[in-house]
Structure 1
Amino acid sequence: MQQQVITSSGNEKLTLDYVLKLLLEDGLITEEQRTQFAGLHESDNKKTHPLITLSNLDWHSSCEPSFPLTLERLTQWLAEKTRIPYVRIDPLKIDVNKVTSLVSQAYATNLKILPLEIDGKELTVANCEPFFDSWVQELSRIVNLRIKRVLVNPKDVERYLVEFYGISQSILGAVIDSDESRSKLQNFEQLIEVGKMGEPDANDQHIVSIVDWLLQFAFEQRASDIHLEPRREKGKIRFRIDGMLHQVHEFPIILMGAISSRLKSLGRMDVTDRRRPQDGRIKTKTPSGDEVEMRLSTMPTAFGEKLVIRIFNPEMLYKSFTDLGFGAHEIKTWEHMTHNPHGIILVTGPTGSGKTTTLYSALRQLARPDNNICTIEDPIEMVDEQLNQMQVQQNIGVDFATGVRTLLRQDPDIIMIGEIRDFETADIAIQAALTGHLVLSSLHTNDAPS
């Protein structure tokens, strides 16, 4: 059914009855459904957005039964209906500090609007009320910019109002608590201001909030690595997602040392030593309750201490080969190779391409009571009770080659070598494959064919 376009009337907010009426007109629901829920929003759910109420009903389109009326699809439908551009918020593309400095938290929260982007003389603002636009002219005068309205999922507006302004307030609070001072500790390239020596404490509540937000955000974005990189005036936060680094945020340089110290404290590292590289581990849980292990590595740089966090999520490491992108033919070929009693299989590719995930997923499928699977890894990225895992320890002379020799005396059926890094390890891996063992390993390359 062709949709009838409706326009804004200024100050009206959506009601459930009105949305039901529009859905009925477009043939997306039946009269029976409309009658059943008419008036529900006003009487029982005054604070709940009508689209959220409807999405919780798990309805499907009456004209297309395979088309569920999810919150995102209802938002898209309403955007088309009102001819307001629809946007799916991508927090990685938003300069949070820049947009939140233009519109106050109180103003944005009161109107349930969210500034997203500044492009020249235009400010893009998201909201979830297509007929409520009386604020547009006022905001345009305040910020001295044209306002471009976009329609977004109402849950995203609620969520990112809290997150964006919350992290901005934490940053501001931490800077204020430090008297706007600059740390001169181990930042050889920073311009020192005489008489200003303070740095926020790692246990300051603002710093704790920033670190908590940083980790939760990384989990939500399914990042494999977090990079904290100090520069002369600013500190950069970058996430590696699907092999690519994305800049997420910039912090005042005064906060970077405190953020690093908080993470080092959680990772049981020496917080006071910023001159030498250190390694640590953190075990925590994601918002969904999954246990996650993180490996921390620090490095002193000209601008201060750089910290990288590698995230090992069991959900990410153990996947079906369909989820990994294997087609039916590739799965059949892979199963044929891994069910051979001997031979060597190499998984190749660049950093972050999924080599470790592929190996762990294969081992999970091969783990059976009649198999003895032994691994040598640097480090053990995820402990699995079905595997006999050994870690490289260079300080006591246990490298990959030594580890493989040890594993060969353990009556293994399958050997996994975390990475082949030198000729000696490659040679002993081939010897193991030729003497009746199935060997799986990874090899770093710029791309799979090379």
Structure 2
Amino acid sequence: MRKKLGQLLIEFKIITSEQLAEAMADQRRTGERLGSILIKKGYVTEEDLEYLLSRQLAVPAINLSKYQVPRELVELVSERFMKKNYVVPVERDEKTLTVAMANPQDYRVIDELRFMTGLRVAPVVSSMYGIKQKLRELFPKSEKWEDALDLKAQRELEIITPQEFQRAVEENLEDALESASEAPIVKIVNSVLLAALDKKATHVHIVPEESAVQVKLRVNSHLETLVTPPKEYAQNIVNRLKILSGMDILQRRLPQEGYFRVRSEDQFYDVDVATFPVRNGEQVVLTFQQPFSKEELRLENLGMTPEMLETYRRVIAAERGLVLVVGPPDSGKTSTIYASLNALKSPHRVTFTYENPIKNRLADINQAEPNERAGLTFAQGLKSLVKQDLDYLMVGEVPTTEVLSTVVEAALGRTLVFARMVFNNTLGVVPHVLEQGVAPFMLYSALAAVLGQRLVRRLCPECLESFDPPEPVKEELRRATGRENPHLYRAVGCRACGGTGYRGRIGVFELLVPDDEMRQLILGGASAQELAEAARANGFRTLIEDGLTKAVDGMTTYEEVRSIK
């Protein structure tokens, strides 16, 4: 006699009898399948359920979340049939069609599939939850773009613009702003912002096309389409964002940059806005500088290894010096410097940040930004700021040789300076600074460290899956980590991570702390290659080596690390 699913779950000690009773009570009330209820409650995983269904029904099991179903297979069976009977075709050879079914013993459905396709049908079992998820993926619900943005059910969103921008809007552009301030446009923009916050997007792309506007979100480093409004909304959406960020809405031929701040559910988010003229109008990219709680803005939460963190703490404990934090845009440089300042700030020390614009407000830290409209340039403001008897200074960018010289001079005094630079090569930044006109003897004395970093997607801890890598990869991991039998982890996908297999991002780092030998090389104007050889001899670990250690520890995947550039 075949055992019931609930009995098997208890027998294998996957759930308790109390959890089974609770799920069965829900089943009697809702009529939903027991397995789906258990998955939604988090008592079992899809893999658990599929394994037990396979044991119960004596047929192979399949996890649909790991399968990309070819479009030609989907076209063999009608959408209506698949949704009605909860079946998904997954593979086909010359004579056989393999089909995932919630009930692989439903011979009526198997006969209909055989008649419909002209192929022999090989059923495999999958959870109802997994089948429904795959059907939603294969046949996304068609809805009006207004419904996709849920314009009728908006929660509160406050948008805060820089005061001088708001005054300019009120005084000078009243007539031109009318169409961009109409209620429908305001609702559309607010809904896009709320959707980005809900999905924890890092960027919003607004791309005008010939007949529509593509609005896309970058979530966990991947772009996904949010909504596609009609083309007639394009310019007013752009104008609305220009108003909020203090741009000239009449200037459409040149790129512009600005920013504004939003508050939703008592959290603040700074939003950088950049426009660029393209064939069909203006493209806009919003970059969300998401706020950090005090707990998140801690050095130990960034992802450094214990050994690197200890070394970095020793570096920033110095009374003076220059710490260069380098990497491409959106690599977490600002967060690292903020975390460093939070670790150092004290009522007995003067701490300042100088950025354009200020990315996040920090408690107990002075913050300033240039004001080009008032005539205060970045370079002028920095020159004045370094005379304010500072202990710690963050410089948000180093756009010119003049600014770089000011930064180095401040680091030679009694200030520990953190400077953020967009530069991809950690070791190559030293020759680059020298090429900008900084005297080698000044950099020799000022440079405390160079920290290079990137961000990779962090595996969801709820559903990651361990596996044994191929021998060539395993040998690479042994060399990078020193571990005899390293394993890797892959993304699977679950409810906790929205089916992506990833939750958030984590830093990957390389830290260069010059010793006496390297300082002599700097003094002599050494090349990046010479610096690299000296660094390796001194135990320097590369981004890839640090990333592979995180991959072996289950923090990210091998593929994520190997995508680092």
Normalising by structure 2, we get a TM-score of 0.53
Which of the residues 289, 298, 312 maps onto 2:275?
A: 298
- Percent identity over paired residues: 21
Aligned to 1:264: 241
Hey, what does 2:264 align to over in structure 1?
A: 285
Residues 126 and 157 in structure 1, CA contact (< 8 A), matched pair in contact too: no
Q: 1:83 corresponds to which residue?
A: 60
Q: 2:15, 2:358 → 1: CA distance? A: 53
Task: Give the C-alpha shift of residue 306 in structure 1.
Answer: 0.7
2:398 matches 1:408: no
Higher helix share: 2
Shift of 1:231: 3.5
* Residue 340, structure 1, aligned to residue 323, structure 2: no
Match of 1:46 in 2: 30
**Matched letter for residue 287 of structure 2:** R
The one-character-per-residue Cα deviations of 1:391-444 (angstroms, maximum 9, x if unpaired) are 122233323322222222333211000011211111111111111011011111
Q: Return closer, same or farther for 1:322/1:38 CA change in 2, 3 Å cut-off.
A: closer
2:260–2:271 contact (8 Å) kept in structure 1: yes
Quick one: distance in 1 between partners of 2:356 and 2:307? 32
Residue 155 (structure 2) pairs with residue 171 (structure 1)? no
Shift in CA distance, 378/79, structure 1 to aligned 2, threshold 3 Å = farther
Matched, 1:394 2:387: no
Residue 40 of structure 1 aligns with an amino acid whose one-letter code is: A
Shift of 1:293: 2.8
SS of 1:315's equivalent in the other structure is coil
Which deviates more, 277-286 or 322-331? 277-286
The structure-2 alpha-carbon separation of the partners of 1:57 and 1:230, relative to structure 1 and needing over 3 Å to count, comes to: closer
Change (3 A) 1:415 1:54: same
What is the rounded CA distance, in whole Å, between the counterparts of 2:309 and 2:271 in structure 1? 30
2:445 aligns with none
Over 3 Å counting, the alpha-carbon distance change for 1:125 and 1:294 in structure 2 is farther
> Can you list the C-alpha shifts for 1:159-182, whole angstroms capped at 9, x where unaligned?
9959x856x4123889xxxxxxxx
What is the CA deviation profile of residues 267-286 of structure 1, one whole-angstrom value per residue up to 9, with x for unaligned ones?
Answer: 36689646264634240437
| TM-score normalised according to structure 1 size | 0.65
Q: Distance in 1 between matches of 2:105 and 2:389?
A: 72
Structure 1: which 5+ runs fail to align?
1-5, 7-16, 59-68, 175-198
Q: What CA distance in whole angstroms lies between the structure 2 residues aligned with 1:387 and 1:218?
A: 29
Superposition deviation, residue 448 in structure 1: 3.2
1:122-144 deviation digits (Å, cap 9, x = unpaired): x9999977778977888999999
Residue 306 of structure 2: aligned partner: 328
Q: Is the 8 A contact 2:215 2:227 kept in 1?
A: yes
How big is the shift at 1:54? 3.4
Once the two structures are TM-superposed, the CA of residue 266 in structure 1 deviates from its matched residue by: 8.4
Instruction: Say if 1:110 and 1:333 are closer, same or farther in 2 by CA, change over 3 A.
Output: same
- Report the more deviating stretch, 323-332 or 142-151: 142-151
Structure 2 residue 202 is the aligned partner of structure 1 residue 224: yes
**In the comparison of the two structures, how many residue pairs are matched?**
385
CA RMSD after TM alignment:
5.4
* Cα 1:129–1:275 shift into 2, 3 Å: farther
Q: Secondary structure at the match of 1:267?
A: helix
Q: Hey, what does 2:401 align to over in structure 1?
A: 423
Against the structure 1 CA distance between its residues 170 and 309, is the aligned structure 2 distance closer, same or farther, given a 3 Å change threshold? Answer: same
